[in-house]
Structure 1
Amino acid sequence: MNMFLTNLATSSHHFKKPYDTDYRELLIDACDQLAETAKFKLFVCDDIAWNVDVSPDLVVFLEQVPSAINHLKLGDKAIISLYEQGVETNIILIPHYKNCYITCEPMLPSSTTRWGSKCCEIEDLEHIILKLEVFFKAISRALAILIGV
């Protein structure tokens, strides 16, 4: 599993909403700004980039990363649901001793993924947690610059 945000421009912008708004609204506004130049790339279960965008897919992904990290650190299963039209897939991360089994399952019974509902990737558990943490922290820093904090 790999995640990238490329072509990142982080100049401060004025947002539509006041700063006292909730986290999700700030995240949506920041990702809308990033979407002008940045590209979100997500690779799960193979080397083919998923059809995801900065807005709205990055917002949906980022909202779920902290919870996924916490679940994995506790040894619990984590699910990252990419529910936007065209993706509609659950990324299921299952810790097993020092490994993490990654499965991609379609959210809708009528849809299919390239992988079916099977384990498609095994990674070192500590490594997958580190990848998620590094990606989340890097994006958080970029978003902080965008919102001027």
Structure 2
Amino acid sequence: MSRSQKPRRKYDPNRTLNRCASIAERAIAAMPMRADAARDIEIAAHIALDRLINGADKDSLYILASALDVSHELAARGVGIEHIADVERGMAALVRAKKHGDRTGVWVLTGADARAASGALAVHDAQIEVASRAMVVDVIKTVTARVESGARETEFEVMMLEAA
């Protein structure tokens, strides 16, 4: 073979199969979440909210805080940006509940705080239904990495840590 030609690529019997698989993966990632997957995500947050309204433990508070953090990040990326104020009101309600829980040992949402958290959770549910699967997965990875590393924390995450 002369130097002017590139060397041939080694034969790959799975090349077409791999190419089809990557095309299918991109198509699936662009689609909205499956209804059952969205429902699974929403159930945990709704159970946590219900437990917080009836008086619960710290774990329920953090489950709901994680859901609202994901919701805020989705809004920052343009999914439901018009409802970001509702999400921030829900986040503020959780911070107040955490401060109250740290003082008294009872983590509970009442009155306006319960309504604010419920409204923020409704926004979260709507965002999960319309956002693409790839975006939801990326947002969850981003929020988890940010919390675990302690770098670039949002104001909400800082307030939750300060209230601790």
Return the TM-score normalized by structure 2.
0.26
Q: Larger % of strand: which? A: 1
Q: Larger % of helix: which? A: 2
Return the TM-score normalized by structure 1.
0.28
Larger Rg: 2
